[in-house]
Amino acid sequence: MSARRIDGTAIAAELTTKISAEVARLRKEHGLDPGLAVVLVGSNPASEVYVRNKTAKTAAVGMRSSLHTLPATVSESDLLALVAQLNADPMVHGILVQLPLPPQIEPQKVIEAVAPAKDVDGFHPLTAGLLATGLPGLRPCTPSGCVRLAKSVHPSLAGMEAVIIGRSNIVGKPLFHLLLAENATVTVAHSRTRDLPAVARRADLLFVAIGRPEFGKRDFIKPGATVIDVGINRVPADGGKSRLVGDVAFAEAAEVAGAITPVPGGVGPMTIACLMLNTLSAACTAAGLPDPAL
Ligand code: NAP
């Protein structure tokens, strides 16, 4: 491996240390008491792990969290009623409904039910519109984490050639707007892109978010490029076990890249740190305090 390994765990820990300090200062000086409500529907094992990590990290930075678990059979209207109740609760500053949801529930309806001021996931269409038009607002966690990781290698992204593979509403599209706001020159590739490796090789900054294990190979990487691997895929491992891999074939990509994020330990921890930051931001906005610029 010749590439520098971008340590998302360490960079996230640095950010959460700053968030903890800011939470303590705002509590002391302004009596601010930020609270995150997490809603988990059903018993998807991956979702249970994510939710556990998020609530544990919320407590670790000194903020309140409440976990609302609903059975997989819950009706859409009961879930929407819970969201409405959380929207109205002044002690709740951020609401996160863990996806995916069971088939009887239309996820877009739930995303649109969350009050934009409490939309710490950044998935509401209004939040997306604020980002797209460069107006202040909450920014989606995973794309924000990706940009922070890229900036840990290149403090300024201005003028850099960035390629994003994947155009989902939760990763690729918001990442496009965040990178544009950093003055990068951005290409978004997807399943209909012609000669994907050639498009990817244009990138000084390559972001891969497609949900296909180790899809991005050596021929996707421009020598010296910075690679941010968003993918989280569970694949079979020896002894009947499983392991997590990204959307990039790490070992071979690392022979060509200048810097690369591992999976696990790259984007994942940054997503949670950015969720903490969004919860603090939402609490500050609700209290009429300036946004903590961390
Ligand atoms: P998604 O909604 O399924 O979107 C996948 C995107 O990849 C689509 O735009 C699709 O193109 C594109 N794509 C699929 N196959 C492709 C191919 N063969 N060539 C080129 N493009 C292809 O996925 P997502 O929600 O964005 O998630 C992507 C990955 O990131 C997943 O592994 C997910 O687990 C991971 N993730 C990680 C975090 C984290 O915290 N680390 C957070 C969110 C997601 P079309 O639009 O043309 O279909």
What are the pLDDT digits (tens) for 215-252? 999 999 999 999 999 999 999 999 999 999 999 999 99
pLDDT number for residue 20 = 98
Structure tokens at 38: 């997490």
Backbone angles phi, psi at 113, to 5 degrees: -80, -25
Q: Which CATH superfamily is domain 141-268 in?
A: NAD(P)-binding Rossmann-like Domain (3.40.50.720)
CA distance 71 to 42: 5
Q: DSSP for 195-221?
A: SHHHHHTT-SEEEE-S--TT-B-GGG-
pLDDT number for residue 127 = 98
Domain spans of the chain?
Answer: 32-115, 141-268
pLDDT number for residue 202 = 98
- Residue-wise pLDDT for 78-92, tens only, equals 999 999 999 999 999
Q: CATH fold of 32-115, please?
A: Rossmann fold (3.40.50)
Q: Is the pTM of this model over 0.95?
A: yes
> Residue of the nearest CA to atom 47 in ligand 1?
191
**Averaged pLDDT in 10-residue chunks for the chain of 294 residues:** 94 98 98 98 94 95 97 98 98 97 98 98 98 98 98 98 98 98 98 98 98 98 98 95 96 98 98 98 98 92
Q: Annotate 55-94 with b (16+ C-beta within 10 A) or e (fewer).
A: bebbeebbbbbeebebeeebeeeebeebbeebbeeeebbb
Atom of ligand 1 nearest to the CA of 192: 47
Atom of ligand 1 nearest to the CA of 167: 9
Q: How many CB atoms are located within 10 Å of the residue 288 CB?
A: 7
Mean pLDDT in the chain? 97
Residue of 226, 236, 177, 233 lying closest to 209 (CA atoms): 233
Q: Is 151 a catalytic residue?
A: no
Q: Which residues line ligand 1 (CB under 6 A)?
A: 142, 165-168, 170-172, 190-193, 196, 209-212, 230-233, 247, 267-268, 271
| DSSP secondary structure code for residue 155 in this structure | S
